Amino acid sequence: MRKTTLAISLLLILGLVASGCGNKDASSSDNITVKIGLLKNVTHAPAFIALQNGYFQEKFGENAKIDVMAFDNGSDFSTAIATGEIDMGFVGPGPAINQFLKSKNFRIISGSNNGGAVLVARTDAGINAVKDLVGKTIAIPTKGSTNEISLRLLLEQEGIKVTTDSSGAEIITRAPADTLVAMRQKEIDAALVPEPWGTQMVQEGTAQILVDWDKIPPNNGDYPLTLMAANDKFIKDHRDLAKAAIEANLEAIRFIQDDPTKSYELVSNELKELTGKGMDTDLIKSALDHLKLTHEVDADAINLMAKVSFDAGYIKDVKEEELDLSPMLDLSLLEEVTQNK
């Protein structure tokens, strides 16, 4: 039962009567709706698999209900988890960092995957290396995103400034689907996007890979792209369910690794539920081939990303030396799960 619109089961009603509608443990999964947020990106594949295979439902218990909310970008997700609109879910470190420094009321509890983004350039734009991006327009999905952080690091490595004139590179925002159109219409010269959008542009002949996923900074593609987060109230009141969500994430990662072919079909099915349209399995394969599934969280990479966000002006009212993100990470739940505590 994943949607709040589903009727309450007779079993649940009888259970409420029998218990007198009270005396339940605060962490019980009975009579609770867990609100899970995610993005409509293939890079959120473990979340898709956990939903399609029923791992969340299995771990939460049959009397828990699951309400899934899909977001177009990580900024909207981060606002939702900070305001309690959702309990937990999957997001990139860029928007999570920016929101945490404002609200400080949610935590990163596990990793999900690393990498998975590519830098593509329009085939007729005369761009053959990052240094050729001077005077060009580059699209990213949203301001402050993990993709923008990677792009700024790439430009910095080549000594290219971010500007709005021809002396440097201009960064604009376009939703990934709109980036396809913008590339065809020559509105943009390049884009740093999560897969499979880059591969799709390459396949249709409008773009070429400029920097592949395993060369994208930081750490040559081995940086957090999708993380699990939960708000503080959910962790405090339902720590067992937060741990159950981590278990579902780990099981989904194992499933993708063990049966990638079946995973392509399931990811497409979940995309259809979220957006009304599935995706070609070859594109899904490309996306999953271009990321590293992992529950681990690289704190050093997150700190580097925070510095880039700070330098870009997204982090305000905080001094650089005060950028302490250790409180944002609560990996104690992950440790308990992996050690079977």
* Sequential pLDDT tens for the chain (341 residues): 554 333 334 333 334 333 444 433 344 566 899 999 999 989 999 999 999 999 999 999 999 999 999 998 899 999 999 999 999 999 999 999 999 999 999 999 999 999 999 999 999 999 999 999 999 999 999 998 999 999 999 999 999 999 999 999 999 999 988 999 999 999 999 999 999 999 999 999 999 999 999 999 999 999 999 999 999 999 999 999 999 999 999 999 999 999 999 999 999 999 999 999 999 999 999 899 999 999 999 999 999 999 999 999 998 888 888 888 999 999 999 999 999 86
Task: Report how far residue 101's alpha carbon sits from residue 323's, in angstroms, rounded to the nearest whole number.
Answer: 9
Angle between helices 281-289 and 45-52 (to 10 degrees): 120
Q: What is the pLDDT of residue 229?
A: 98
Q: Which of 131, 134, 138, 135 is nearest to 157 (CA)?
A: 131
- The C-alpha atoms of residue 129 and residue 209 are separated, in whole angstroms, by 10
- Provide the CATH number for the domain formed by 117-221 in this structure: 3.40.190.10
Helix H or strand E segment including 66: strand 65-71
Taking the C-alpha atoms of residue 185 and residue 201, their distance in angstroms, rounded to an integer, is: 12
Output the pLDDT for position 29.
60
Task: Judge: domain 10-114+224-338, CATH 3.40.190.10.
Answer: yes
- Report the interhelical angle of 239-258 vs 45-52 (nearest 10°): 100
Predicted local distance difference test score (pLDDT) of residue 319: 86
- The reply to whether 10-114+224-338 and 117-221 are identical in fold is yes
* CA distances in angstroms from 334 to 173, 185, 212, 223, listed in the order given: 34, 46, 31, 18
Quick one: pLDDT at residue 340? 86
Identity of the amino acid at 331: L
Domain coordinates in residue numbering, the chain: 10-114+224-338, 117-221
Determine the pLDDT at residue 1.
52
